[in-house]
Amino acid sequence: MADIPTSDGLKDLSLYSNGSPEAVNSLVVCFGEMLIDFVPSVSGVSLAEAPDFQKAPGGAPANVAVGISRLGGSSAFIGKVGDDEFGRMLADILKKNKVNNSGMRFDQNARTALAFVTLRADGEREFMFFRNPSADMLLHESELDVNLIKQASIFHYGSISLIEEPCKSTHHAAMALAKKSGSILSYDVNLRLPLWPSEDAARNGIMSIWDQSDVIKVSEDEITFLTGGDDPYDDNVVLDKLFHPNLKLLLVSEGPNGCRYYTQQFKGRVPGVKVKPVDTTGAGDAFVGGILSILASDTNLYKDEKRLRDALLFANACGALTVTKKGAIPAMPTRDEVHNILKHE
């Protein structure tokens, strides 16, 4: 395992995060779902016990796009929402956050997806989804913004868009186009079991694009699920079962404990940044946005362990800052906020 990084190398990260002219062309295109999360106005209750709910924009790929933009990077979102009040609101939120939303499509016959989300007193998250079908599931290949995908330095996606047709085929087509155009393919597993028909369908669906992805981010729980119950902390489990020959970078997020990284040359761990948590929503997406914002301008980052460790400490700080505020998109940090917290580490 490599040494724990100090914050000394972090001042150099501004060179990669939109501080240089190349960053203008370092576009990250995020593909998938954008929806409305309804979260209880009080913490630590079940959905049934919640007295009322607040609406918040959500959807992991959209959160990542905003996270990158907030850090000074260049991002776009491709996905489908309903041609309704919520869908227009979501498109407007992306625009206000300087995310290119020209790849969004609006469905006149399906609603924008809704999700009710709570963190119960026992620490478990509880989800209830309203998408039967929702607009995000109905994106067709013919609706893809091909030119936008071709411009991507990184093409980022999750697994929810693999659950149902026609979105599943559209996802595969978009990945193939991005790969052909020379993009780095980035995959955040983002397991949501209640949305899949069965556990086997989820496992098979998630693994169906595994070998095509260049960068993969997975959580400890997701490792246990994907390996059929193996120890998520065992390097041999991760390397034998999840690391494929073409993979450039595999990241394991460990919440407040930071993250682990695996490349073809080296592996290690970077500690988390200590904060007082208020709401964990969006922390993983902020982490992904943090690392992709740097990788987009420094595409060989995974070959240099010191630079990678500095970038991952930056990404850990992005995730940590997000849990200090409520919601995902409203809590995404700026680059200055990240540098400030790292000064005190």
Active site residues: 285
Dihedral class, residue 18 (left if φ above 0, else alpha if ψ from -120 to 50, else beta): left
- Are 339 and 289 in contact, with CB atoms under 8 Å apart? no
- Could you tell me which residues come within 8 angstroms of residue 4 by beta carbon, excluding any fewer than 6 positions away? 270, 271
Cα–chain-centroid distance for residue 13? 20
- Are 328 and 37 in contact, with CB atoms under 8 Å apart? yes
- Are 105 and 143 in contact, with CB atoms under 8 Å apart? yes
Rounded to 5 degrees, what are φ and ψ at 246? -95, 0
- Could you tell me which residues come within 8 angstroms of residue 343 by beta carbon, excluding any fewer than 6 positions away? 7
Q: What angle do CA 286, 171, 328 make, to 5 degrees?
A: 20
Residue showing tokens 């193996």: 230
Beta-bridged to residue 216, according to DSSP, are 187, 250
